[in-house]
Structure 1
Amino acid sequence: MAATRFDHSRIWKRFEPVMNSERIEATYLLETPMDPTQIAAVMAGEQSSGTFVRVAGETDELRARAGAEVLKVTELASVPEPSLESAYLERKAIHGPYRRAHVRIAYPVANIGHNLPTLAATVSGNLYDIGEVTGLKLLSLSIPQAYRSRYLMPSMGITGTRAQLGVIDRPLFGTIIKPNVGMCSHEIADLVETLCEAGVDFIKDDEVCANPDHAPITERVPAVMARIRAYRDRTGRDVMMAFNITDETDAMRRHTDLVTSEGGSCVMASLNWCGLSGIESLRKHTPLALHAHRNGFGAMSRHPLLGIAFDAYQAMYRLAGVDHMHVHGIGGKFVDKAEEVQAAAQACISPLAINGSDVNDRVMPAFSSGQWAGTLPHTFEAVGSTDFLFMAGGGILAHPGGPAAGVRSLQQAWDATSAGQSLNTSKTKALELQVALEFFGT
């Protein structure tokens, strides 16, 4: 006779795990045609000590010690059609309505240890494949301070990045190498020199330019850093360059060592393609600032009933030790709503652990995607402080007056914003800002 799914709700309510102070809490959005409370118990069992049938050795003591606990199920409005198909439900002829709920589950830290891939497997993993589920999204993670302390902190974070660049009382203004790819190393170095002279604080490679044949990293890094060092020696002002070192882990270590030997202070990696292990290994290898690019995150987040929301995502990569985190931009070219970008930035500038107060445990939110002088006031309002990196690629490089005028338009926009003036009020006194407003639009 075929085995039937074990009713975890009987045991995950009855036995409370013992290590209550050492648990990671995960919050989900669940959709199912069945009782959400029952499916929440299935989720807790699947991701801790249980499976679809009770097995030998699954004692009451073991479940009490290692079992996850359903803390809360808050049912929401149901929908008539499923968000995702399930052959399991089709075989059993189970149909809607499809009930939605917020579910919060606590997982014992002892099940996970210091192990980021296993943390991800525990709070996500097979949950997306459970037959009774027609929608599931991991919304957030609550990390206890003791568990946060098992991992490295950011090397620079907000405070260290500011100190490196000598910028204290305003946002950092940055840009991206454009065209994204195609230029050779000396052309990139020429552009970097121009941008340094223009007064930019931060420059980064595009995410698709890591080690191309036309600008190999072993050639590009020395060429670019020669210009940055010359500018630094002449002016006393530093410019941070985030070199894209995305690659397999050993290659990233080699590339990082090259940046270090050339006097650089920052490297960039594409989080989703290097993975938690790759980023954590990189953090352990270098004190350089890790600029975390989240390209590909939309594949995890855009569907409202599937994947991982930014709050949970940033928590795991902050445990890996990043210093800067991309949050996209307000009014930019990507899909994010303004409130989503704001929430992402607020998460970054807050300590990671529950009730955490360590100011060093904060990462610099990096705004990009269609940003220019006109989007700066909304960004400042959303963050509520000057602790952000504002990157304008085309907003600087496509300014009709050239890159220097593009940087000045950002500076002028900040002068107006910090003085409580609208950009339209101040534009008559600031030529570069006025040109930007006319060229890029309001």
Structure 2
Amino acid sequence: INGVFAVRGVTGIRVMDIDLPPAWSCHPGPQFGIAGSRRLMGVASGPMIASIIKPSLGLLPEETAAVVRQLCEAGVDFIKDDEKLMSPGYSPIEDRIKAIMPVIDDHRQKTGKTVMYAFGISSADPDVMMRNHDMVVAAGGNAAVVNINSVGYGGMTFLRKRSALCLHAHRNGWDILTRHPGLGMEFKAYQKIWRLLGVDQFQINGIRAKYWEPDESFVRSFHDLATPLFSDADRPLPVVCSGQWGGQAVETYQRTGRTLDLMYLGGGGIHGHPMGAGAGVTAIRQAWEAAEQDIDLATYARTHAELAASLAKWG
């Protein structure tokens, strides 16, 4: 592919798809995927509701753990480090793990629910990445955020061979590979490579996302992930994100084939709810209930106060 892009006189070329011969099924693919993610989170049906803690807040590990406790009590299934949060001086990953995992364990002891927390373990040095991985595993964690473009194909291969964690792929940097319509690579081709290498969960923006990507592109990406390469087991969990608050749930449900096999990730849509984070999670779940029942959000909100408050603030 690189040679084609370098040909003299070519002013535009775009990789649209890659045909995979059956022999390529030798690659490991997802270790957990959709079914394993559900099992680890204890979510047998319905969408998995997730949230994120932004590093721009500058929270110390103990302060981060306090937010994690709030989110666990609010009823989320999954929490993640932001992709930009590695191991800064104010919040080294060792200290973050030590502060957060007791909160996750305490919540499990009280409720029986294991909230999945994905720590950012990425590093340009594979040995450092595996050291981070091993610290998460030793503390009883079950997931990690991987900046796939930063660690590269080799780093991902190195990690997947040794990993005991559910690998949540963040594609930051993908935009520069695809945003110009006459250059780069379609997500349809791009995602096949990372699925072969073993990602379990894949962030793909969402309906009315806060970034440049059109809704149509998100929908195509969702269906690309839902299409098996060789079997259903190689489908990663699609992660719908980037400015989701519940108001996009009905359209997301309708345009992605009326499936609930997805993670729905809200940041401000949970933390910023006027009735608190717990109401933010409840409002998102109510929005998905409305979607499943083919009821428009305004109608459903008449008898659901949390959803009504979301619509009043963001709708």
* Range of TM-score over shorter length: over 0.9
Equivalent position to 1:372, from 245, 248, 251: 245
Q: Is the 8 A contact 1:349 1:387 kept in 2?
A: no
Q: Equivalent residue of 2:188, what SS?
A: helix
Task: Return closer, same or farther for 1:336/1:365 CA change in 2, 3 Å cut-off.
Answer: same
Counterpart-to-counterpart distance in 2, 1:180 and 1:361: 35
Cα distance per residue 1:369-400 (max 9 Å; x no partner): 11111011111122221111110111111111
| Equivalent residue letter for 2:181 | P
User: Does structure 2 retain, via aligned residues, the 8 Å contact 1:136–1:305?
Assistant: yes
Q: Do structure 1's residue 240 and structure 2's residue 116 form an aligned pair?
A: yes
CA distance, structure 2, for counterparts of residue 406 and residue 179 of structure 1: 20
Q: Who is 1:387 aligned against? A: 261
| Contact 2:55 2:85 survives alignment (8 Å) | no
1:295-337 CA-to-partner distances (Å, cap 9, x unmatched) read: 1111000000111111111011111100011111111101111
Q: What SS is found at the alignment partner of 1:333?
A: coil
Q: Distance in 1 between matches of 2:286 and 2:57?
A: 30
* Helix, strand or coil at the partner of 1:371: coil
Q: Give the structure 2 partner of residue 48 of structure 1.
A: none
Deviations along 1:391-436, one digit per CA (max 9) or x if unpaired, are: 0111111111111111010111112111111111110111110010
Q: Which residue of 1 aligns with 2:292?
A: 418
Distance 1:133 1:156 in 2: 41
Which of 121, 126, 133 aligns to 1:249? It is 126
| Residues 229-256 of structure 1, C-alpha deviations (whole Å, 9 max, x = no match) | 1101110011111111111211110111
Q: Paired residue for 1:196?
A: 72
Matches within 5 A, 1:343-362: 343-352=220-229, 356=230, 358-362=231-235
Measured on the aligned residues, the alpha-carbon RMSD in Å equals: 1.1
TM-score normalised by the chain length of structure 1: 0.70
Counterpart of 1:157? 33
**What is the alpha-carbon distance in structure 2 between the residues aligned to residue 180 and residue 126 of structure 1?**
40
Structure 2 residue aligned with 1:167, among 43, 51, 75?
43
8 Å CA contact 1:172–1:390 kept in 2: the answer is yes
Listed one character per residue, the Cα deviations across residues 324-372 of structure 1 (whole Å, up to 9, x for unaligned) are 11111111101111111011111112212xxx3x221110011111111
Query: Structure 2: which 5+ residue stretches go unaligned?
Result: none
Are 1:181 and 1:209, in contact at CA under 8 Å, matched by a contact in 2?
A: no
Contact 2:241 2:264 in 1 (8 A): yes
| Counterpart for residue 54 of structure 2 | 178
What letter corresponds to residue 133 of structure 1 in structure 2?
Answer: V
1:263 alignment partner in structure 2: 140
Match of 2:151 among 271, 274, 296: 274
Partner SS for 2:181: coil
1:307 and 2:190 aligned: no
**1:91-128 Cα shifts (integer Å, max 9, x gaps):** xxxxxxxxxxxxxxxxxxxxxxxxxxxxxxxxx21211
CA distance in 2, matches of 1:178, 1:274: 21
Higher relative CO (CA 8 A, sep ≥ 6), structure 1 or 2? 2
Counterpart Cα distance in 1 of 2:254 and 2:81:
27
1:181–1:208: 8 Å Cα contact kept in structure 2? no
Counting only pairs closer than 5 Å after superposition, residues 287-366 of structure 1 correspond to structure 2 as: 287-352=164-229, 356=230, 358-366=231-239
Corresponding residue of 2:13? 136
Secondary structure of the residue that 2:16 maps to in structure 1? strand
Task: Give the unaligned 5+ runs of structure 1.
Answer: 1-123
Distance 1:164 1:380 in 2: 23
Which of 300, 303, 308 is residue 434 of structure 1 equivalent to? 308
Would you say the 8 A contact 2:55–2:84 is kept in 1?
no
Q: More helix per residue: 1 or 2?
A: 2
Task: Say whether 1:228 aligns with 2:101.
Answer: no
TM (norm. structure 2) is 0.97
Name the aligned partner's letter for residue 431 of structure 1: A
Q: Helix, strand or coil: the match of 2:82? A: coil
Query: Distance in 1 between the 2:96 and 2:39 partners?
Result: 26
